């Protein structure tokens, strides 16, 4: 029998998109500017209905493209408003130059993002190529395994962004979570509003008593210092993420961290994964554990900033680690998550783990329990020295034509 | 797959309400205290094209987020799909197929090349025409599914569905009563 975790919580069956729209309603930002795109459309569609029905006081700006959506959100945030948007895939791509500007201007914009493949070929299904492509833009990135996490993460992101003075995006896996109805516990409006508090920017453009310039040219004299500050703010935001998580747990009872460790502490083989596939991996870990195989999982929640020291420490004892990327970097090297995990371990001087990179699920390609079991079987071989860790990504569930 | 988890696959045609049925079923199962998932298969969405949707129902939290390939229950809203779609795929020797059909379970079993014990039929289209006044077999099939599963509380399902429909059709009370009646009738009339 399901029971709410929070004494005043309410259980409902909702899709990832519905619950992100619900969080936005409760956050009630001053301004939302957005342009619809599958599979994120519903988020801003439902929210725009709240605006039309007078349920929220937010200003909704219906723009003609995502570039304009991000531009309007930046303008609103710079003016002193709490501003949000939502998008996916090509929409995020079209926001590209403005993403960097939002971060460079230190504007705490929050985005509900639904992960979807990038064209070409055109594809509407879920992979993480879109946000992985934006990983160096200076946005805090928080990933969600399910709808509950999407709801909780979006609420926390508001506080994190405003404290860190950096924009933040929260994602779900396209269709797999965005369109999957699951049980979600939501909290009363008042409690969510109390948790995030009022937005009180120290400086904003519409503060006529304290005028200042934002976005001016910055050449060899100061540009580097300002970019250093963005990078430093990103590093410093780790602490903020934990503080907000602690407050959240104290208020609503659900515990969040940089990542979730699932049966990892004594694991000999482990998978590192992001998003909904981490949930499926838990089922595989449980069944391997029943057969006496010490399998574990590290599920990334916070990808930007990357929790370098913590991850290195928690993975240092694992003999073989499979790092699963739902995006390929087309880099000739490895996919994004692998690169960060490997760098973290190497920098910490870890010598035990052998690593393998698995690229999976591009364009929504199925990743099943048997595929994940196959990865664990591979890791057993690597652990026992029966297979050399590959020097390029392994591709899961794809038809590859062998060429000479 | 853990033994306590039920997996269901719905087959319908675009516009018949296979997705809505899966969503309604998930909400109803939640109202009886279960963990639920409902998700459609997204492909080209065309009226009349074969579509699928899925449910997972469990006593425990559901963390699986892969597709349903071995459902214990398959619900078929349009019997003509049996000619073109491998509706019995993955059900094994114990899975059950519930078909909106005027034919007997034995006749359907023959067509699907499975054991007659695995087949249930109910004339949901007829029931829908008589109760909802439209050929909308999705709500009656909910009743048939609840009956065949056997472990869900039909009154809980009826109450929850009534609540959901009341919100949606508050200006059309006859639609609500017709739908509720259709679920009850299919619950009682489904046969094996």
Overall average pLDDT of the A67-83 stretch: 98
Question: Which CA distances in Å does A218 have to A112, A222, A223?
Answer: 31, 6, 5
pLDDT band at A401 (very low <50, low <70, confident <90, very high): confident
Contact A280 B33 (CB under 8 A): no
Average pLDDT, chain B: 93
One domain, residues A328 and A363 = yes
Residue partners of B70: CB distance under 8 A and separation at least 6: B1, B7, B90, B91, B92, B95
Q: What pTM, to 2 d.p., does this model score?
A: 0.96
Does one domain contain both A247 and A276? no
Whole-number average pLDDT of chain A: 97
pLDDT score, position B164: 86
pLDDT exceeds 70 at position A404: no
Q: In a 3-state reduction of DSSP, which class is residue A295?
A: strand
Tokens of A128: 């993480």
Among A146, A183, A369, beta carbon nearest to B36: A183
Minimal CA separation from B131 to chain A, in Å: 27
Last residue of a domain, one of A252, A269, A303: A252
Residues A292-348: tens digit of each pLDDT: 999 999 999 999 999 999 999 999 999 999 999 999 999 999 999 999 999 999 999
Q: pLDDT by residue (tens digit) across A189-227?
A: 999 999 999 999 999 999 999 999 999 999 999 999 999
Query: A193, A226, A252 — which closes off a domain?
Result: A252
Question: What pLDDT, on a 0 to 100 scale, did the predictor assign at position B3?
Answer: 62
Work out the angle between the directed axes of helices B18-31 and B154-168 (0-180°, nearest 10). 120
Chain B: residues touching A (Cβ < 8 Å): 1-2, 22-23, 26-27, 30, 33-40, 42, 59, 62-67, 69
Is A173 at the interface with chain B, CB within 8 A? yes
Q: Using 50, 70 and 90 to split pLDDT, how confident is the model at A2?
A: confident
Determine the residue among B29, B41, B65 to mutate to test chain A binding: the one whose Cβ has the most chain A Cβ atoms within 10 Å: B65
Q: Flag whether A1 is in a domain.
A: no
Task: Clarify whether residues A272 and A225 are in a common domain.
Answer: no
- Nearest CA among A234, A241, A357 for reference residue A304: A234
B-chain residue closest to A279, CA distance = B63
Shared domain check, A186 and A83: yes
Residue A312 makes CB contacts below 8 A (sequence gap 6+) with: A344, A345, A347, A348, A350
Q: Among A195, A217, A252, identify where a domain stops.
A: A252
Domains and CATH numbers, chain B: 6-189 (3.40.920.10)
Residue A46 in contact with partner chain B when CB distance is under 8 A: no
| Neighbour count for residue A120 (Cβ, 10 Å) | 6
| Integer Cα distance of A127 and A22 in angstroms | 24
Considering the domain boundaries, does residue A401 fall inside one?
A: no
Distance, in Å, from the CA atom of A334 to the CA atom of A311, rounded to the nearest integer, reads: 18
Q: Does A10 touch chain B (CB under 8 A)?
A: no
For residue A400, is it within any domain? Answer: no
* Whether A229 and A351 share a structural domain: no
pLDDT tens-place string over residues A92-125: 999 999 999 999 999 999 999 999 999 999 999 9
Model pLDDT, residue A6: 97
- Among candidate residues B39, B169, B56, the one with its CA nearest the CA of residue A125: B39
Domain span at A330: 260-395
Average pLDDT over residues A146-168: 98
C-beta atoms of A11 and B30 within 8 A: yes
* Domains in chain A, number: 2
Q: Which pLDDT tens digit goes with each residue over B133-152? A: 999 999 999 999 999 999 88
**Together in a domain, A239 and A283:** no
> CA A361, CA A116: separation in Å to the nearest integer?
11
Q: Tell me: pLDDT of B95 over 60.
A: yes
On whether both A58 and A87 belong to a single domain, the answer is yes
Please report which confidence band the pLDDT of residue B85 belongs to, taking 50, 70 and 90 as the band edges. Answer: very high
Q: What is the pLDDT of residues B33-52, one digit of tens each?
A: 999 999 998 776 688 899 99
Inspect the interface and report whether the beta carbons of A2 and B69 lie closer than 8 Å.
Answer: no
**How deeply is A276 buried, as exposed, middle or buried, from its count of CB atoms within 10 A (0-12, 13-18, 19+)?**
buried
Which pLDDT tens digit goes with each residue over B162-183?
988 888 787 888 889 999 999 9
Q: Give the CATH number for residue A176.
A: 3.40.50.970
Query: Which of A39, A174, A181, A372 to substitute to test the interface with B, most B CBs within 10 Å?
Result: A181
The alpha carbon of residue B116 is apart from the nearest alpha carbon of chain A, in Å, by 31
On whether both A281 and A239 belong to a single domain, the answer is no
Stretch A2-22: mean pLDDT, rounded?
A: 96
pLDDT in tens, A373-389: 999 999 999 999 999 99
pLDDT in the model for residue B165: 86
Q: Say if residue A283 is in the same domain as residue A195.
A: no
Q: Is the residue at A5 inside a domain?
A: no
pLDDT of residue B44: 66
Assess whether A192 and A310 both reside in one domain.
no
**Residue A3 within any structural domain of the chain:** no
DSSP state of A121: S
Secondary structure class of B132 (helix, strand, coil): coil
Say if residue A188 is preceded by a cis peptide, omega within 30 of 0.
no
A277/B contact by beta carbon, under 8 A: yes
- Note whether A319 and A268 are within 8 A (CB): yes
For residue A155, pLDDT beyond 90: yes
Structure-token match 């049925």, residue found: B21
The pair phi, psi for residue B186, each rounded to 5°, is -65, -35
**pLDDT value at position A14?**
96
Chain B CB contacts of A11 below 8 Å = 30
Please check whether residue B64 is in contact with residue B90, taking contact to mean a CB–CB distance below 8 angstroms.
no
Cis (ω within 30 of 0) for the bond into A305?
Answer: yes
Of the pLDDT bands very low, low, confident and very high (cuts 50, 70, 90), residue A68 is very high
- CA angle centred on A206, ends A203 and A210, rounded to 5°: 50
Q: What is the CATH number of the domain that holds A269?
A: 3.40.50.920
Query: Does the pLDDT of residue A79 top 80, yes or no?
Result: yes
Backbone angles phi, psi at A246, to 5 degrees: -65, -45
Joined tokens for residue B73: 């229950």
Q: Do A390 and A356 contact (CB within 8 A), yes or no?
A: yes
Encoded tokens for A176: 């797999």
DSSP state of B88: T
By Cβ distance, the residue of B34, B38, B64 closest to A283 is B64
Nearest Cα to Cα of residue A31 among A67, A63, A65: A63
Same domain flag for A220 and A327: no
Per-residue confidence (pLDDT) for residue B35, from 0 to 100? 96
Cis peptide before B102, with omega less than 30 degrees from 0? no
Å between B33 CA and nearest CA of chain A: 5
Residue B58 has pLDDT above 90, yes or no: yes
Question: Mutate which of A15, A127, A183 to disrupt the B interface (most B C-beta within 10 Å)?
Answer: A183
In the predicted model, is pLDDT for residue B87 greater than 80? yes
Q: What are phi and psi of A64, to 5 degrees?
A: -100, 0
Confidence label for B130 from pLDDT (cuts 50, 70 and 90): very high
β-sheet bridge partners, residue B21: none
Does residue A4 lie within any of the structural domains? no
What pLDDT shows up at residue A386? 98
Q: Which of A53, A201, A143 is nearest to A327 (CA)?
A: A143
């Amino acid at each position: 029998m399901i029971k709410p975790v929070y004494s005043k919580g309410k259980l409902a069956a909702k899709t990832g998109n519905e619950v992100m729209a619900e969080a936005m309603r409760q956050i009630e930002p001053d301004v939302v500017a957005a342009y619809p795109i599958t599979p994120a459309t519903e988020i801003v569609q439902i929210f725009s209905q709240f605006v039309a029905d007078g349920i929220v006081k937010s200003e909704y700006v219906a723009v003609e493209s995502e570039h304009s959506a991000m531009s309007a959100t930046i303008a609103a945030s710079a003016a002193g408003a709490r501003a949000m948007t939502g998008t996916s895939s090509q929409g995020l791509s079209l926001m590209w130059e403005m993403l960097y500007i939002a971060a460079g201007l230190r504007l705490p914009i929050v985005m509900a993002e639904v992960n979807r493949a990038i064209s070409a070929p055109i594809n509407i299904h879920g992979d993480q190529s879109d946000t992985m492509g934006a990983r160096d833009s200076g946005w805090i990135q928080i990933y969600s395994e399910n709808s509950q996490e999407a709801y909780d993460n979006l609420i926390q992101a508001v506080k994190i962004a405003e404290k860190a003075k950096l924009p933040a995006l929260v994602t779900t896996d396209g269709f797999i979570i965005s369109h999957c109805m699951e049980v979600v516990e939501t909290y009363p409006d008042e409690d969510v509003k109390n948790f995030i508090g009022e937005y009180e920017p120290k400086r904003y453009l519409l503060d006529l008593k304290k005028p200042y310039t934002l976005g001016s040219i910055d050449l060899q004299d100061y540009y580097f210092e300002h970019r250093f500050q963005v990078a430093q703010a990103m590093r410093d935001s780790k602490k903020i993420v934990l503080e907000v998580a602690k407050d959240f747990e104290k208020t609503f009872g659900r515990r969040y961290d940089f990542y979730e460790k699932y049966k990892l502490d004594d694991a000999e083989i482990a998978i590192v994964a992001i998003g909904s596939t981490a949930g499926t991996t838990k089922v595989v870990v449980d069944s391997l554990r029943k057969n006496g195989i010490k399998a574990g999982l590290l599920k990334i929640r916070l990808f930007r900033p990357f929790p370098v020291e913590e991850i290195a420490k928690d993975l240092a004892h694992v003999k073989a680690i499979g790092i699963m990327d739902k995006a390929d970097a087309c880099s000739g090297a490895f996919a994004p998550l692998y690169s960060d995990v490997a760098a973290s371990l190497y920098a910490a001087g870890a010598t035990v783990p052998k690593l393998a990179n698995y690229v999976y699920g591009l364009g929504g390609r199925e990743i099943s329990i048997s595929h994940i079991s196959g990865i664990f079987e591979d890791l057993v071989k690597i652990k026992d020295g029966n297979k050399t860790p590959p020097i390029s990504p392994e591709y899961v569930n794809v038809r590859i034509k062998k060429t000479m | 797959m853990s033994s306590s988890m039920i997996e269901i696959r719905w087959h319908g045609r675009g516009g018949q309400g296979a997705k809505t049925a899966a969503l309604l079923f998930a909400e109803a199962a939640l109202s009886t205290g279960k963990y639920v998932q409902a998700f459609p298969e997204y492909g080209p969405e065309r009226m009349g094209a074969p579509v699928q949707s899925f449910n997972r129902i469990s006593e425990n939290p559901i963390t699986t987020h892969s597709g349903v390939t071995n459902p214990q229950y398959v619900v078929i809203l349009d019997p003509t799909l049996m000619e073109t779609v491998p509706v019995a795929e993955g059900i094994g020797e114990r899975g059950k197929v519930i078909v909106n059909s005027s034919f007997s379970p034995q006749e359907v079993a023959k067509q699907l090349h499975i054991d007659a014990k695995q087949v249930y039929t109910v004339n949901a289209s007829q029931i829908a025409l008589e109760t909802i006044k439209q050929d909308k077999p999705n709500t009656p099939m909910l009743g048939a599914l609840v009956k065949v599963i056997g472990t869900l509380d039909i009154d809980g399902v009826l109450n929850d569905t009534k609540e959901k429909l009341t919100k949606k059709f508050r200006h059309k009370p006859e639609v609500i009563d017709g739908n509720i009646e259709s679920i009850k009738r299919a619950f009682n009339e489904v046969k094996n």
